[in-house]
Amino acid sequence: MSTTLTNTLAWKSLGKHFNEMKDVQMKSLFVEDGNRGNRFKLKENGIYFDYSKHRITDETLTLLFNLAKERGVEERGNAMFLGEKINTTENRAVLHTALRAPKGSTILVDGRNIVPDVHAVLDKMADFSNKIRSGEWKGFTGKRIKNIINIGIGGSDLGPVMAYEALKYFSARNLVFRFVSNVDGSDFAEAVQGLDADETLFIISSKTFTTLETMANAQTARNWALSYLKDPSAVARHFVAVSTNEKEVTKFGIDPQNIFGFWDWVGGRYSMSAAIGLSTMIAIGSEHYHSMLKGLHEMDEHFRTAPFEKNIPVIMGLLGLWYNNFFGAQTQAVFPYDKYLHRFPAYLQQLTMESNGKSVTLDGVTTDYQTGVVYWGEPGTNGQHSFYQLIHQGTKLIPTDFIGFKKSLNNLPPHQDYLIANMIAQGEALAFGKTADEVRTEGVQEQLVAHKVFEGNRPSSTFFLDQMSPENLGKLVAMYEHAVFVQGVIWGINPYDQMGVELGKVLAQNIIPELQDTSKAINHDSSTNALIDFYRK
Ligand code: G6Q
């Protein structure tokens, strides 16, 4: 990349345009164009995407699209889909999109078509899932499996948890699913409460099979199971692994037949549609799982082929960048108005922040501009009764994504009307607020008027879908994945490595022996030394 981002023509034009836009009120934009709510919306791929409540005009969008062009978003996207090694710091292809490529398609990595490999694993997962769901798979004592515990962390946990919760409605209700991620022993202790080892299956999900937390939990699970089942050969009936490290998995005692593999071209946080989704498939069955893959693939195709003007992830990514880099917004809120999506914001935190939380470009230069924003959120309407106050009347600008469904999976009138009315009302209130005059006409005492004014002009997007389903979940996930990609390309950073996670891991390894052996000399800074000393005593 020869020109730095801030030297591009498009960036400079956006800077000038920002000066014209920074005080423009959305209210005026809606008055000037009575059709704005229809013009700034897309209905693509079963998603109604309303982006009219943003501080943008047609010119803003044109300039943002120019920026995307000048930074090579399309070319880089093609390179990703074709399996070029765009994760340059790790010299890897980035092909989570291949995980949902239809049977029969061709994607080459180092000259090998990887699509048949992907489908072989999917078939193996389906076979295993069917056996667990039907009771054909028996535990060591001959009982059927009733409990499934996924042990994994980060990308090997957040996707499976989120997807299980999101698709619980479609899950086999005779099976219990629990997830252990934290190295805090309480996580494991609580997960096995009330369960019998001879009815429990552990899925050890770890790409590397070396992660401290997962290995500690896997070992504890092994001890827990064997304290009841006694015979080490029971491990083969109660433990399976999802990993790329066959050697370490086998050492652990897991039958090589029961390893579900994936590849180095799938990043952890992009792996929920790889074999890391095994718990999801056991929960919802292979057919529903394939519907989820279909949804992911449809969004991949939309992103790959739609022109920028009609491309949901492109517009999302650009809007985020507009607020982050020009308005100085620090965070982005995501509020799903659907209880099943309650872990979606947590999932997105990793996807977005681990991907774009970088301050060095692909060329190794420190950026002179802001990159990844802080993602956060909770399901609506709960958030409305807590932190929404700050978004409405606080001093920070917080662009917000609302996600809702027309139909509830649980038809209990009038709940859905109440839920969706609230979602729509929040976007309206954020954009248009309430003026002092409007407050006065309500007869509010003069000394309280200022307190009851809502400034408005606070941006939001609304994503409206038909109903929560495996396919729609797939679409939502891929939509955010590609929006992250768009931003990463424009910022010129690598969304696919995570060097920042490494340092803490290394330092913890140094401190573990110092906690365990109190005679060891400690040579850290005075704060770290004192903390270690406090724990030792
Ligand atoms: C994700 C990260 C990270 C990773 C975990 C677990 O993109 O790389 O969250 O998923 O550290 O790693 P393992 O699957 O190797 O245990």
Q: Which tens digit of pLDDT belongs to each residue from 357-395?
A: 999 999 999 999 999 999 999 999 999 999 999 999 999
Q: Where in 363-410 does DSSP place strands (E)?
A: 374-376, 400-407
Residue with tokens 């054909």: 136
Measured in angstroms, how far is the CA atom of residue 375 from the centroid of ligand 1?
A: 19
Structure-block tokens of residue 126: 């389906």
Answer yes or no: is pLDDT of 3 > 70.
no
**Spatial separation of the C-alpha atoms in residues 422 and 409, rounded to whole Å:** 18
Backbone angles phi, psi at 329, to 5 degrees: -65, 140
Pairing relation of β-strands 112-113 and 108-109? antiparallel
Helix (H, G, I), strand (E, B), or coil: what is residue 454? strand
Are the C-beta atoms of 314 and 73 separated by less than 8 Å? yes
Are the C-beta atoms of 114 and 263 separated by less than 8 Å? yes
Tell me the best of 162, 501, 505, 506 to mutate to test the pocket of ligand 1, counting ligand atoms within 8 Å of each CB and taking the most: 501
Nearest CA to ligand 1 atom 8: 268
Given pLDDT bands bounded at 50, 70 and 90, which one contains residue 477? very high
Segments in 259-376 forming alpha helices (H): 278-305, 312-322, 344-349, 355-356
Report the greatest alpha carbon distance in the chain: 78
Which of 247, 385, 451, 537 does the annotation list as catalytic? Answer: 385
Are the C-beta atoms of 335 and 380 separated by less than 8 Å? yes
| Number of CB atoms found within 10 A of residue 531's CB | 14
Are the C-beta atoms of 164 and 343 separated by less than 8 Å? no
- Nearest one of 353, 117, 88 to 244, comparing CA atoms: 117
Structure-block tokens of residue 249: 């998995």
Are the C-beta atoms of 332 and 399 separated by less than 8 Å? yes
Annotation marks residue 44 as catalytic: no
Measured in angstroms, how far is the CA atom of residue 347 from the centroid of ligand 1?
A: 13
Output the pLDDT for position 462.
Answer: 98
Average pLDDT over residues 469-473: 98
Are the C-beta atoms of 140 and 234 separated by less than 8 Å? yes
**Spatial separation of the C-alpha atoms in residues 456 and 429, rounded to whole Å:** 7
Cα 273 to the chain's mean position, in Å?
A: 12
Output the pLDDT for position 508.
Answer: 85
Answer yes or no: is pLDDT of 2 > 60.
no
Measured in angstroms, how far is the CA atom of residue 342 from the centroid of ligand 1?
A: 22
Provide the residue count of the chain.
537
Annotation marks residue 385 as catalytic: yes
- Nearest one of 45, 39, 62 to 306, comparing CA atoms: 45
- Nearest one of 341, 369, 332 to 458, comparing CA atoms: 332
Output the pLDDT for position 504.
Answer: 79
Are the C-beta atoms of 63 and 10 separated by less than 8 Å? yes
Average pLDDT over residues 232-258: 95
Residue with tokens 């962390």: 153
**Spatial separation of the C-alpha atoms in residues 48 and 52, rounded to whole Å:** 12
Annotation marks residue 452 as catalytic: no
Give buried/exposed letters for 134-144 (b at 16+ CB in 10 A, else e). eeebebbeeeb
Supply the Cα-derived Rg of the chain in whole angstroms.
Answer: 25
Answer yes or no: is pLDDT of 347 > 80.
yes
What is the per-residue pLDDT across 134-173, written as a single tens digit (0 to 9) for each?
Answer: 999 999 999 999 999 999 999 999 999 999 999 999 999 9
Structure-block tokens of residue 497: 């490595």
The Cα angle at residue 463 between residues 52 and 98, in degrees rounded to 5:
120
Name the CA dihedral angle for 253, 256, 258, 261, rounded to a multiple of 10 degrees: 120
Give buried/exposed letters for 425-441 (b at 16+ CB in 10 A, else e). ebbebbbbbeeeeebee
Measured in angstroms, how far is the CA atom of residue 403 from the centroid of ligand 1?
A: 27
**Spatial separation of the C-alpha atoms in residues 137 and 163, rounded to whole Å:** 24
Output the pLDDT for position 236.
Answer: 95
Average pLDDT over residues 68-92: 97
